[in-house]
Amino acid sequence: MQVLCLSTSGEAVGVARRIGVEGFQARLFLSSPNATAVGRGIVERVGSWRPALPEADLILCDAPGWGTYEKTLRGYGRPTLGCSAQTDQLTRHPRNRWQLLETLGAPSVFRDTLESHALTELSEPAGWGLREVNGKYFSETYYPVSARDLEYLSSRMAPNSVVIAEKIPQGPVFQIQAFWNGRRWVLPALLVLWSGSPSRGIPFSYLGKFLRTPKLFHRTLEALTPFMKKVSYRGSVILECFAAKEEIVLRELYFGFPGSYAALFLNGLKENIADVFYEIALGSRNSIDVTNDYIAAVPTIKAVGPIFYGAPEDEGIPINGLVEENLRHVYLQSVCHSSRGFEWTPGSSLVFTTAARGRDVKEATRRISDTLSVLSVLRTVTNTNLVGCEENLKALKSMNWL
């Protein structure tokens, strides 16, 4: 089987490498002009995706944006994952997503829009979550508790930028990730928790657990089923929610397979990923064989102070200690390989994600720390503290959602 991976900045590198390790052929096309060396020496790169289509048995798009070419991709009659013009429209227009969530019959977050300079006029700061809109993306969510917090946030944001103010319920925040095969969900779904604060220089770390009981799934992704049956999308869906004692409040909807989420999923999957993706794209796969363990994933991020980025002068920085043995636990992204070994190369701020399983969170964290202890990359930062994840996990259990 040959899989053609279409990527923007390289989030599919880890998946493509896994496909190759399993004995299949993976070819990678990257659309970003800044990711010229990403994946080189690790997976086969193609300079143009159109000539590669006829030879592909499966087409995998790792992020929204490829829906523009949906007719072209499907015109070759190849099974395709992650590509839909309809879901791309929802990605570009957040208000349309929120309107969709409001029609699902489940409680959704109350929102208001204001400009950054007006933050200090927000009454009762506590209980709000504030997100600055940067183009089509959101910044990190801030949770003010006082007027002083609002003054600080206003000074940090661009003048007159748009801010989404969300009334946040009391309770843990979490995400549910699952694949849609065109007719139904592929189960079990993956529960994802995270902790960290990028604005303070602390990147996110993630904890995953495949759901064996249907309760949380029924109150989250299942509500999306009628909508999903109306669109042409097949692929990964992520629904972000808040949990209260008696209800689940829907907050955000994402389409795609980000690198750290792929690391969680792949580390827990007990089957060949190429076979699973091929059958999901065909619509014939309804379930997956996965671990019962907890899965932790810790991204390694290029960082200078609290700002994460990849500077051109950092190109070629070696990733010391990365060898075949620990590559089983490391999912590469902005990385290339040459005679000098593995190196960071500009593509995105995420260099690689380290993932591990464990019977409990502590065991999974210890295994990640063991792997990271032999790796070193200059000017990078990681966060192996999963305490926030554990607290939200305990809260979900105490509310009988798990």
Dist CA 191 CA 95 (whole Å): 25
Please, are residues 144 and 197 in contact by the beta-carbon 8 Å criterion? no
Q: List, run by run, the mean pLDDT of 10-residue segments along the chain (402 residues).
A: 95 96 97 91 96 96 94 92 96 88 88 85 83 67 84 81 86 95 97 86 92 91 95 96 90 93 97 98 98 97 56 73 91 94 89 97 96 93 94 95 93
Give the largest CA-CA distance in the chain.
60
Q: What is residue 58's predicted lDDT score, i.e. its pLDDT?
A: 98
Task: Annotate 47-110 with DSSP letters as a single string.
Answer: S-STTTGGG-SEEEE-STT-GGGHHHHHTTT--EES--HHHHHHHH-HHHHHHHHHTSSS-B-E
* 173-180/235-243 β-pairing: antiparallel
Tokens describing residue 196: 């960290």
Question: pTM of this prediction?
Answer: 0.92
Q: What is residue 137's predicted lDDT score, i.e. its pLDDT?
A: 54
166 forms beta bridges with: 111, 129
Count how many Cα atoms sit within 13 Å of the Cα of residue 156 in the half-sphere of its side chain: 17
Q: What is residue 272's predicted lDDT score, i.e. its pLDDT?
A: 97
Q: What is residue 383's predicted lDDT score, i.e. its pLDDT?
A: 94
* 162-167/137-138 β-pairing: unpaired
Phi, psi of 34 (to 5 degrees): -90, -5
Tokens describing residue 272: 């060949």
Which DSSP symbol is given to 232?
A: -
SS3 163: strand
